[in-house]
Amino acid sequence: MTTATTMTTVPLHDETMLLDDTARLRAAAAFVREHDSASLLPLLLPGIEGPDLRALAGHCHFAHAGILVFPPDEETLRARLGGCGLTFDVPSHPSVVVRERLARRHRLAPADLDVRILRPQVRGSDGERRAVEVFALTVPPHSGLERIAASERTAGHEAHLAFEVDHPDPLVLRGLCAILARHGAHPDGGGYNPHEDGTVLYFTTPAEGVSGYRRLELYAHGDHRDSLAAHLDHPRPRPASPPAETLLHLLTGAWTTQALASFARLRLPDAMDTRTASTADGLARLTGTDPRGLATLLRYLAMLGAVTREELPERLPEEFPEEGFRLTALGALLRADAPESMRPLALMYGGPFYRSFGELDHAVRTGQPGFDHLYGENHFDHFARDPELADLFDRSMAASSRMFQPLPAHPALTSAAARASAPATVVDVAGGNGELLRHVLTAHPGLRGVLLERPHAVATARRLLDAAGCGARCEYRAGDFADLPPGGDVYVLARVLHDWDDDRCREILGHCARAMPGHADLLIVERLLPADGSPSPATAWDLHMLCNVGGRERREEHYARLLADAGLHLHDRTPLPLGAHVLHARKRPTTGNRQPVHSST
């Protein structure tokens, strides 16, 4: 046998390594032959079933089991693979992702590690072609890398099961990541490999899994570094704190809101730089603030990650010894000139809505908004009487526009844009300052838009869309929901229905149904309350709606009932950033049974 011949030609320490690697390669090949996506996912993610399981299995397929081995050279590696019945036709190529992970773990330069990838094919029990993905770290005798091989073999950091995404796009990748997170999988790195033009997202799966593997890989052909960046930024779960410490942290949440709001109100981010640090004394002179008070605020903001503290080479006054502050990427979002600045949101949450949250007791006792109790009128009327406040509110809504970024890739919009007949029309209902419509029209130059909004918002939207080069393709209408223009191809209700009670929602959806032709689509962007009570941003916004607006967040099935009452049916749903979803609805067929609701990524 080839393996035996090889064993007689290598040193004894490599002989042990060979036997171990060969056994692991054989086990990986057997595992790939025995499993398919539908049977494997519940082993990795205990409890997954129903729509989530169907969505995962429907958008990706089990592709390979990954293993890291440690041959002294490539010739030996090929012999080992041959001895396990693993053959391949294509040459190996460098592994950028695993090489960098190994370098970080063992504090070495990536250039010092020669890591290659081979994917010998294996036929699954269902006849599908799969692979054993072999990462090979070359460990020449007496190279000093033997300790790394021993450590990695024991820990099994790179052993994983991979699922290849069939038709990757930002919506699909975000949806798959959301499902995995919902079932206990935590982000665990990833990367883009230019040698094969592929993006890898790694996850650690729950300890209760029974597959024998703790790591899962999503593999997407192509360059998806925007999705990768969101994946890498996802926070790791923290160990549980003692109850008293946790409660104290929660009770001081109001301090965080006001610290960030003050940071924005005082325009401190505009006076700071992300590249060089400034002293509190110097910043105080620029912003007209007290040096000691400003230093206290900046130290707190450093805890939050909005700024970072740095030592400065020059000697400073005794009260601020060698201490400087530099703006972080998070803090830079509060600059007035930042793209998609979140400064208006900080001013709104730290201003009118902060004060009205002091009336939460009233909202819980009576079911009526605390905002109305404090200001004597609802927030729409209150803002309408104050142009500056109305403008701040519209800009604060636009500050969350990053939830709209994947929306142009939704099939309803891409199919509308692909029609060969007359240009399709997208109607943005109560579309604020046109931020969402700008995203859609910029992505699809063949689409036309209609914005329905209040008069002052229409004027703002006209300026924004003209500046973006989309104004010539957009029509503007000042009016209410009853003024919906008929004949559109796609209607959009973004963060509208959560402002209203069920009766008003039925009325709004009824206006949409009457305006929509039979072929039209309705896209509803909202945060969805989780059916299982798991932590969700929607739960926080549900409290916000109770206290400040009088509306509510809802579960998917609740929206499905409201749609059905208006003669519409829920076709599918897709996750968006910032905890949002897009609900895709159509007119109910005039004959036949109601179409079932299902989830998609």
Active-site residue list: 498
* Structure-token pair, residue 454: 């209040």
**Tokens 């798959």 sit at which residue?**
176
Query: Distances from the Cα of 45 to the Cαs of 42, 49, 238, 340, 535, in angstroms?
Result: 5, 9, 20, 36, 18
User: Rounded to whole angstroms, how far apart are CA atoms 312 and 315?
Assistant: 8
Q: Round to whole Å and give the CA distance between 392 and 412.
A: 32
Q: Give dist(CA 203, CA 270) in Å, integer.
A: 37
For residue 273, the tally of other CB atoms under 10 A from its CB is: 12
Count of helix runs (H) and strand runs (E) in the chain? 27, 18
Q: Token match 């190994």: residue?
A: 102
Dihedral sign for Cα atoms in the order 301, 330, 328, 200: positive
Single-letter residue type at 239: P
| Angstrom distances, CA of residue 304 to CA of 221, 246, 327 | 36, 16, 12
What lies within 8 Å, CB to CB, of 64 at 6+ separation is: 32, 119, 130, 131, 132, 133, 161, 162
Determine the Cα–Cα distance for residues 413 and 525; give it in Å rounded to an integer: 14
Alpha-carbon distance of 570 to 558, in angstroms, equals 11
